[in-house]
Structure 1
Amino acid sequence: MIYNSTALLVLGQDDDIAIARRDIAQGEHLDEIDGASRAPIPFGHKVALRPLAQGQPVRKYGQTIGIAKADILPGDHVHTHNMGMTDVTLHHEYSVDAREPDYVAPEAVRSFMGYKRASGRVGTRNYVAIISSVNCSATVCRAVAEHFKDREIMRRYPNVDGVVAFIHGSGCSSNGYAEGYSYLTRTLTGYARNPNVGAALFIGLGCETNQVTLMLEEHAMQTGARICQMSTQGIGGTRKTIEAAIAAVEDLLGVANEDRRSPQPLSELVVALQCGGSDAYSGISANPALGYASDLLVRHGATAILSETPEIYGAEHLLTRRAADAGIAEALLARIDWWKHYTSRNNAELDNNPSHGNKEGGLTTILEKSLGAVAKGGTSRLNAVYEFAQPVTAHGLVFMDTPGNDPVAVTGQVAGGANLVCFTTGRGSTSGFKPAPCIKIASNTPMYERMSDDIDINCGDIVSGDETISEAGARIFELVVRIASGEHTKSEDFGYGDNEFVPWVVGAVM
């Protein structure tokens, strides 16, 4: 940000537009253009700083975000009526900005209170999971989880955060060797392996394509004291399966209740970076502040997972410059190419984004949205690229290929091992993502004040000039440490997170 007046934010010296810090009336004098606004400019929307001819690129963040659909004059409101998407030929440089993180000294590495698992990984929560292999067992799974909503029952297990059912709409009538099947089985077993899950019960119908036994074998999981399975057909119907599952979960709760928190290094944190319900301020305040916090976590040896491939489209060149090596850069570009083919064969395009709410908040094209979204990744070196729900093993900043749909994207990240979620929003969000706690981060103060019951931290003071990005990022970092150690988020206080498990469905359903 190079200029911050009472009316406008100018982000770069070569930018063609500025951002309204408040509602601007038509005819109001603007020092930045030495003239008056030619139309009402809503809070967060763009105003032209200089003349732009039809067909001329429009720049924000020093990057092209679209093309003028008509002649634009200084003081004009710049949005969907006069700016549109354009094909951008990006120059991809590999690894030129890839620098070894400035790690903190070993004696200065921060710690949090976490659950050390037998796998060596560390959880921030301790749940018992009930996982359906197929939609046909979803009702049974839900009924068993509802049984354990009884507070009197759960008081017997004070070290367990809850029993949660992970149910979905697939698992059968699909090719067991196809891409979508791999995504599903990676997701289901990934949730069972997530360090925030102390024990898990898989429940199938019995005749589905996604056979539990075969799935566990494929992903090298063995049943035992913390992992068990059953099928409704094998046990003899709904009522008998619910009774058997309740008994099995009672045993799992007893095992999980033996777990205790202990001091663990921040290097054991795996944080999912997400944005949803974004506005024009997301890329100015909340996202770069989260990026600063992400860089701090990386310096302590932690892992941060950037995702949502359609929402880095047009900004991927910024990540290839930070790739640790050429192979990582090429893996990222391969996922972009996959998405171009995927959207084409489904009669869609990657600019089927921003959403209605994004546009109302001032975002016009996916290029503009992506340039703001990628800021969540800070400045750290990119150390790996993963496909959806693949186990994340690298430390530092990594990327996971997911859709932009928030529940699907977070489902992939949690399946990959994320034990905490940081979620920026400009329009407001009420989601939770069990078994991972979710920190909500507001991009602007008006929304935060309206939805303070749901939002954990406000970055709107960056917009007003009362706080720097680094100061807000440091606050986020400290909150991450506290939440990882057991402090509740707002969404946890509301009990959110039972309905946001959404595996990515790709391919034919037959």
Structure 2
Amino acid sequence: MQLIEHSDSPRYIRLHERDNVVIVVNDQGVPAGTEFADGLVTVDFVPQSHKVTLEDIPEGGQVIRYGQTIGYALQPIPRGSWVKEDQLRMPTAPPLDSLPLSTDVPAAQAPLEGFTFEGYRNADGTVGTRNILGITTTVQCVTGVLDHAVKRIKDELLPKYPHVDDVVALTHSYGCGVAITATDAYIPIRTVRNLARNPNLGGEALVISLGCEKLQAGQVMHEDDSSVDLSEPWLYRLQDSSHGFTEMIEQIMALAEVRLHKLNQRRRETVPASELILGMQCGGSDAFSGITANPALGYASDLLLRAGATVMFSEVTEVRDAIYLLTSRAENQAVAEELVREMDWYDRYLAKGEADRSANTTPGNKKGGLSNIVEKSLGSIVKSGSSAINGVLGPGERFKRKGLIFCATPASDFVCGTLQLAAGMNLHVFTTGRGTPYGLAMAPVVKVSTRTELAQRWPDLIDIDAGRIATGRASIEELGWELFHYYLDVASGKKQTWAEQHKLHNDITLFNPAPIT
């Protein structure tokens, strides 16, 4: 896209030659009667990021964006009109029994060599980007006690161990009052277990339990697990206390100090960029997400993969309507079938709740110009770049191999982030058009805005402004390389994201599709 010198010039973006709608770029939108450089004249006022028709669309006609059909007109929509959500009938979801399976596998790109970051090597071979003491729980009942203990650990102990970045309580609402042997209970159980194995915790996580809960400590820490250090005491049960609350706090602090001492001896060392495990997510998406931020993430993803890293993308309902574009890119038929398996599982999960994937789109998405989940999905999958998809993880599973991995998660920001942490993510990137202060305590979160206006309003929350792509001040390639280098700097601890500086983080939120008793 070329730089347009006058910011008040009427501007739109068309993504594909087949598109019969375009997206308005101007911050304040464009009024009725606005004439664009090519002679298109608006019939209505059209807000920024919303769609304008390039031609008359008859009733029943296709509305095309990204070169794909995003809806069918419920009424005639004249050329120059603002296309609104209630004017469209959403297409049906692509059937899962007739998808192209590994039919268009991209060729491997030339490797990128010599790129490194400064990380913390772990005994199990993984690398952390941060050096954090994690204290996990087996049940929500212990949360109040642990929160009190963590506050004292941070105030009284952490200052003595300057090489430890933080102390994080991995609290959650699972553990008791649940059907622990139900069919889908494995999802929250393995999520809790794998959260404690995240590379940024250095294999030194502790477990705090009550004692009588259904989820027992042995299900969280396995004796034969090489990714956690069980040579020192790692468990404290509150019900073992004979002197009440005071003893509980003292015991937790004593266990924590042993771990802090060990973590404090660790130092960063130069490691190849291939040790990065990046998780990608979008939230508060708008119509610019698929034009600016997500394509830049996709370009950076391809660069990371060329450097041998692992990149995860997620959010089942935000890829479901574009799944045919992903199964064809799977490196082999087995990976393609795993993608189909996860789509099918989630279709059935939603059906049990008498919902479907259309429940995904939020009021903010619609205000930002996204008419439905089909349009949102086509913009979401752009984060995955152009490389072959190498593997699929079910919810709560830990990474098994390097490459481009689809980590099957709900689209909820907090649940997705939690599951990516359980998968082994050591760095997170989050794109947003509407804006959110989202953050994670266990991994740095790079925030990328889809619009410059948001970056200007939130200069101390947005790390990278991808809106520059829409105004021609940067290309997707340039932003991709900028992100690539920024990732390595943040992973090295050379830079802190705004969320880290402000210590903004959301709660750990487990995905539990099993019954609660």
Q: TM-score, normalised by structure 1?
A: 0.95
Aligned to 1:29: 35
**2:3–2:471 CA contact under 8 A, matched in 1:** no
CA displacement, residues 456-509 of structure 1 (integer Å, 9 cap, x when unaligned):
111111000121100001000000000000021110000112x33111121210
Q: What displacement does 1:446 show? A: 0.2
The aligned amino acid for 2:300 is A
276-285 or 177-186, which deviates more: 177-186
Q: What displacement does 1:35 show? A: 4.5
Report matched runs for 1:87-236 at 5 Å.
87-89=92-94, 92-104=99-111, 108-150=113-155, 153-198=157-202, 199-217=204-222, 220=225, 224-225=230-231, 228-236=234-242
**1:273–1:305 CA contact under 8 A, matched in 2:** yes
1:213 and 1:21 map into 2 onto residues whose CA distance is 55
2:507 and 2:426 map into 1 onto residues whose CA distance is 15
1:215 and 1:177 map into 2 onto residues whose CA distance is 15
Question: SS where residue 285 of structure 2 aligns?
Answer: coil
Change beyond 3 A, Cα 1:218–1:329: farther
Change beyond 3 A, Cα 1:249–1:180: farther
Question: 1:82 aligned to 82, 87, 92, which one?
Answer: 87
Aligned to 2:503: 495
Q: What displacement does 1:88 show? A: 4.5
Question: SS where residue 196 of structure 1 aligns?
Answer: helix
1:79 and 1:2 map into 2 onto residues whose CA distance is 28
2:3 and 2:168 map into 1 onto residues whose CA distance is 48
Q: What displacement does 1:242 show? A: 1.6
Q: Does 1:334 align with 2:338?
A: no
Q: What displacement does 1:95 show? A: 1.9
Report matched runs for 1:252-263 at 5 Å.
252-263=259-270
1:496 and 1:112 map into 2 onto residues whose CA distance is 24
Aligned to 1:345: 352
**1:272–1:422 CA contact under 8 A, matched in 2:** yes
Q: What displacement does 1:224 show? A: 2.4
Question: 2:49 aligned to 35, 41, 44, which one?
Answer: 44
**1:179–1:506 CA contact under 8 A, matched in 2:** no
CA displacement, residues 427-449 of structure 1 (integer Å, 9 cap, x when unaligned):
11211112111100111100110
CA displacement, residues 383-410 of structure 1 (integer Å, 9 cap, x when unaligned):
0011012111211100011000011001
2:347 and 2:406 map into 1 onto residues whose CA distance is 18
CA displacement, residues 154-208 of structure 1 (integer Å, 9 cap, x when unaligned):
2211110111111111211222233443122222221221110032111111111
Q: Does 1:272 align with 2:279?
A: yes
**2:415–2:510 CA contact under 8 A, matched in 1:** yes
Identity %: 37
1:426 and 1:226 map into 2 onto residues whose CA distance is 46
1:377 and 1:451 map into 2 onto residues whose CA distance is 26
1:213 and 1:35 map into 2 onto residues whose CA distance is 66
2:3 and 2:51 map into 1 onto residues whose CA distance is 15
1:238 and 1:169 map into 2 onto residues whose CA distance is 21
**1:52–1:72 CA contact under 8 A, matched in 2:** yes
95-104 or 117-126, which deviates more: 95-104
Change beyond 3 A, Cα 1:189–1:88: closer
Q: Which runs of 5+ in 1 are unaligned?
A: none
The aligned amino acid for 1:25 is P
| Aligned residue pairs, count | 505
Q: What displacement does 1:2 show? A: 11
**1:2–1:10 CA contact under 8 A, matched in 2:** no
The aligned amino acid for 1:421 is H
Q: Which runs of 5+ in 2 are unaligned?
A: none
CA displacement, residues 37-63 of structure 1 (integer Å, 9 cap, x when unaligned):
111100000011111122222110001
1:467 and 1:6 map into 2 onto residues whose CA distance is 19
Change beyond 3 A, Cα 1:185–1:37: same
The aligned amino acid for 2:15 is L
Question: 1:68 aligned to 45, 67, 73, which one?
Answer: 73
CA displacement, residues 260-301 of structure 1 (integer Å, 9 cap, x when unaligned):
100001111000011111111010000000000010000000
Change beyond 3 A, Cα 1:89–1:182: closer
The aligned amino acid for 2:240 is G
2:137 and 2:183 map into 1 onto residues whose CA distance is 19
Q: Supply the RMSD in Å over aligned alpha carbons.
A: 1.9
Q: What displacement does 1:143 show? A: 1.2
Q: Does 1:20 align with 2:28?
A: no
